[in-house]
Amino acid sequence: MNAPDTDVADGGLDDWRAQLRARGLRLTPQRELILGAVEQLRHATPDQVHARVRETSEAINLSTVYRTLEVLEDLGLVRHAHLADRAPTYHAVTGDPHFHLVCRNCGRTQSVAPETVAPLQRALHEQEGFEMDVGHLTVFGWCTTCPSDHEEHTHD
Amino acid sequence: MNAPDTDVADGGLDDWRAQLRARGLRLTPQRELILGAVEQLRHATPDQVHARVRETSEAINLSTVYRTLEVLEDLGLVRHAHLADRAPTYHAVTGDPHFHLVCRNCGRTQSVAPETVAPLQRALHEQEGFEMDVGHLTVFGWCTTCPSDHEEHTHD
DNA sequence: CTTGTTGCAAACTTTTTGCATACAC
DNA sequence: GTGTATGCAAAAAGTTTGCAACAAG
């Protein structure tokens, strides 16, 4: 279900290398691996990305991951959101924007299409003069289909 | 299941000391100072709370602030949200719940009444089977009335 | 008195930085 | 060759924990 040959997926892949060079930056295996890892993992912390790329290349350093994530985010290729209290998680910008739901109970992360926030987006724009950044949005709460509904795990 | 009385702000002040004792916890000057600081500062990081209480009492320790914030949050007297990328900010639960808008440009924080998210709340409930935690919600974006509209002011 | 609470210091976790070397262009 | 990126190690920043002394009830 990946529709590989639609515009964004393909064009983006070819394009980002060009973007790098256009900025005087360099295309390194580390950067390719790290972007690949972010795409595969869907949602991952810097540490998880690091672990993933290490499966391929042992030598890649954590600080390189941090630095690269910053570059990639700057290029608009990845974004991050805070899916847990103290954990930035990065995800690839594959073309379709989305925001996240995080269940305090089961910890599950769910991606939701931006249309769902459209009303809020409109309301904030009109009532508060505020333009929201949908892609960074994380909504915490509880999924009603959750195994152990609302009880127990009352810590944050 | 809240608002046992109409006015929490007043009843709450008298009440929280009772709540503490009811749990076998103790009312200490540190705890009063820290709660007071959170209320006055509106939105503050643990470090800022620490700085504030130190103005009154030099000896209060940062770890006490962390521990106390946890207790107060547990009692439902304060809540925290992530208003910046790496900074939990605490605010007092004064009775009326609200969520936050944070401008990436001017850094300003704005509190908004929960009614504004009601449509989203409903949509998530119906479409995704997800009950959102409105009080913890933080929406990032840009205020259109912002001095230097969409410029790059800082690195988030 | 009893037991929760605090201060202090040290341990931890996560992220950033300085620098010499390596490598993309 | 030139200047960007990387690896490594050490430093920061933020948060947690063990423990003895202290104090609220």
Residue A101 distance to chain B (closest CA, Å):
8
d(CA B150, CA B104): 9
B21 closest-nt by C1' vs CA = D25
B110 touches chain A (CB under 8 A): yes
B88 closest-nt by C1' vs CA = D14
- What confidence score (pLDDT) does residue A52 get? 97
Collect all residues of chain A within an 8 Å Cβ-Cβ radius of residue B145.
Answer: 129
Residue A72 has pLDDT above 90, yes or no: yes
Measured from Cα to the C1' atom, the residue closest to D8 is A61
Q: Is the dihedral of CA A154, B1, B3, B4 positive or negative?
A: negative
Indicate if CB(B68) is under 7 A from strand C.
yes
d(CA A51, CA A56): 9
- pLDDT confidence of B156, banded at 50, 70, 90? very low
Of B123, B139, B143, the CB nearest to A137: B139
Residue A147 has pLDDT above 70, yes or no: no
Q: What percent of chain A has pLDDT over 90?
A: 60
Q: How far is CA A140 from CA A156, B29, B50, B88, B121, in A?
A: 10, 33, 27, 15, 11
Indicate if CB(A87) is under 7 A from strand C.
yes
Pick from B71, B13, B70, B80: which is nearest to B44 by CA?
A: B80
DSSP E strands, chain B = 78-84, 87-92, 99-103, 109-112, 130-132, 138-143
pLDDT tens digits, one per residue of B96-119:
778 999 988 887 888 899 999 999
B54 touches chain A (CB under 8 A): no
Collect all residues of chain A within an 8 Å Cβ-Cβ radius of residue B66.
Answer: none
| pLDDT: which is higher, A121 or B83 | A121
pLDDT tens digits, one per residue of A114-124:
999 999 999 99
Backbone φ, ψ for residue B12 (5° rounding): -60, -40
What element of type H or E holds A100?
A: strand A99-103
Residue A2 has pLDDT above 70, yes or no: no
B24 closest-nt by C1' vs CA = C4
Backbone φ, ψ for residue B30 (5° rounding): -55, -45
Residue A5 has pLDDT above 50, yes or no: no
